[in-house]
Structure 1
C-alpha cells in the first residue's frame, strides 16, 4: 500500500467552490486574485497539491446549501499552474462520466503538458441527478460509467498518440491527440467512501480520496482497500488519503467551531500523525479563517512549523 507514515499534505482551495458546509464568509467577495495569492502561498509552503472541485450546474433544490459557485476545474488548475512552480494540481473530484473520455483527455493532457507533469486526476461518480440529465447521461448508470471511464482515460492519457478503447459506453481508436501528457502515467485517485467507491479505488486507482470518513471509520476502510487489492493481485502502491478536521494553528480569539483542531504546531502535528498510524499517506487540510491574509498566515505556519513534525 506504499508508505506507512503521513509524508504529504494538500489543500482544497477556497473561493473556487462555496458550499455552505465549509465556505468562510469572506470567500463570497473573493475572486481570481485571491485564488492566485493563496495558490502561491500553498506552493511556497511545500504542500504536495492544491485541489479544485467539479460541478457543471446546480439545481434550485440544492443551490441554497451548495451555492452555485463552482469554478471549472481544468480552467482553474491551468490558471494556477501558470502562477505556481512545483505544487501538484488535483481535481477533487472530476465527475468524468459527464464528459466523453476523449474530451476529458484533451483537457487534462493539455493541462499536464503545460504544467510540466503536475496533474493528479481525481475522479468520482457524482451525485447531482439534474447535471446528468441535462447532459444526456444516465444517472442510474453513473457507477458503471465511471468504472469504464477510468479505463478509457487510462488509454487516452497514456503515451500513445492514437489511443484505443473498446467498451460498452465508449468506443474509439484511430483518433490522434497531441500534446500527450508530460507524465508517462497520470496518477488517478478515486474519490468516495461508499462500498462501490472503495472497491473502485482498490481495483482501478493509484490513490483513494475518502469523502467525509471520520477517523474512527478509516481503519476499516483501509483494511478493505488492502484486502481487495491483495485478492485481485494488485501489487502497485496505493496512495491512501484522509480529510482532516478543520484546523487553526495557535490559540484562536474567535469561535472556530468545536470540531476544529487548534493548538501549538506540536499539538496539531501530533494529532495529524495519528492518520499515519492508520495507513494514511496524505492528509488534506483546511484552515478556518476570516480573511485571505489570515488563511495565508495559517498556510505559512503549517508549512514551516507543522509539516516538519508529521513524519
Structure 2
C-alpha cells in the first residue's frame, strides 16, 4: 500500500505559494503521488446528482471555489519536485480534444522525467457538458475512442486512427512520453467503469464507500481483463479515502482518526488495492499523520511512504 494526496489543485492549492508548498510537502513526508481533480466549469445550479455523495452535491454543495486546471497545476508541481508521481484524479476525458491532450500529457511527462499518470473518467455533470458544447449521451464511447487515439499518438511515429470519435492519418506528435506511453487510470464507481478498467485501463480509480463496496467492482475488473487476455496484476488500483479526517489536528481525536484510516487501508490492501489517497489537509495535520502511520507500522522512518511499505 502506498499513499498519495488528492485534491491538490483546489481552494488555496490553486494559488502559487500554496501549490508549491503542497507539492514539496507531499514529497518531503514520503507520499508517492499528488492527484489533481478536474472541472472546466461548475454551473451555479445543476440538477444532475453527484454520484459520490448522498447529498447529490459535490464539495458539500459549494459551487464557487478555486480549482486550477489539473495539467497546468501538475506542470507547476513538476518544477518544484523530483520524485512524486503527477496524476489527474480524474480528468474528464470526453470534454477534451484527444490530440491536444496527448500532446500536453506527453510534454508534461517528458519535462517531469516520466512521472505522469493520467486518470480519466467519462464525467457526470451534464450541465457542464452542455456549457462546453459536448454531447453528454455518448461520452462513454467518446472516452474509449480518445484513449485509443492518445495511445496511438504516444506509441507510433506516424499514428493512424479510424474510430467514430477520432480519425486521423499519419499524425506525428512528438516528443513521445519517456516510457513510450503514460499509464491511463480509469475512474468511476460504477460497474461500467470497472468493465472499462478491465478492458483498457492501466489502473482503476474507483470512488467507493469502503472495501465492501469495492470488492464486487474488482471482481468485474478481473473478469473483463481475463476476457480481454490481460493480466490484472498490471492494473493498479488507487482508491480515495472517504473517512473523516477532521480530527487530525486535535491531539485528543487524532488517535481515533488514524485508527479508522488504518483499518480502511488494511481492508483495501487485503483486496489488492495498491494506493490510498488522502484528501488535502493542513500541513501540520499531514505531518502528524505521517508520524502516526510510521509509529503504527513499527518503523523508524516517519514518513507516509515508509509506513506504506509496511502495510
TM-score (norm 1): 0.82
The CA distance in 2 between the partners of 1:305 and 1:119, in whole Å, is 22
Q: Does 1:81 align with 2:65?
A: no
Match for residue 43 of structure 1 among 10, 27, 44: 27
C-alpha displacement of 1:143 = 1.0
Say whether the 8 Å CA contact 2:6–2:240 is kept in structure 1.
Answer: no
The CA distance in 1 between the partners of 2:79 and 2:158, in whole Å, is 28
Say whether the 8 Å CA contact 1:246–1:285 is kept in structure 2.
Answer: no
Which residue of structure 2 aligns with residue 59 of structure 1?
43
Q: Does 1:156 align with 2:153?
A: yes
In structure 2, do the counterparts of structure 1 residues 68 and 41 end up closer, same or farther at CA, with 3 Å as the change threshold? closer
Say whether the 8 Å CA contact 2:6–2:277 is kept in structure 1.
Answer: yes
In structure 2, do the counterparts of structure 1 residues 42 and 249 end up closer, same or farther at CA, with 3 Å as the change threshold? farther
Say whether the 8 Å CA contact 1:101–1:152 is kept in structure 2.
Answer: yes
SS in 1 for 2:133: coil
Match for residue 131 of structure 1 among 128, 144, 164: 128
Which residue of structure 1 aligns with residue 93 of structure 2?
96
> What is the root-mean-square deviation in Å for CA atoms of aligned residues?
2.7
SS in 1 for 2:170: coil
In structure 2, do the counterparts of structure 1 residues 239 and 293 end up closer, same or farther at CA, with 3 Å as the change threshold? closer
For structure 2, list consecutive stretches of 5 or more residues without a partner in the other structure. 47-57, 295-301
Which residue of structure 2 aligns with residue 227 of structure 1?
223
For structure 1, list consecutive stretches of 5 or more residues without a partner in the other structure. 1-5, 19-26
The CA distance in 2 between the partners of 1:253 and 1:67, in whole Å, is 32
TM-score (norm 2): 0.82
C-alpha displacement of 1:270 = 5.1
C-alpha displacement of 1:208 = 0.3
Say whether the 8 Å CA contact 2:121–2:143 is kept in structure 1.
Answer: yes
**Which portions of structure 1, spanning 4 or more consecutive aligned residues, are displaced by more than 4 angstroms?**
248-251, 253-256
Which residue of structure 1 aligns with residue 298 of structure 2?
none
The CA distance in 2 between the partners of 1:94 and 1:187, in whole Å, is 13
Higher relative contact order (CA 8 A, sep 6+): 1
Which residue of structure 1 aligns with residue 257 of structure 2?
262
Task: Write the deviation string for residues 166-198 of structure 1: whole angstroms up to 9, x where unpaired.
Answer: 100110122222222112121100000112111
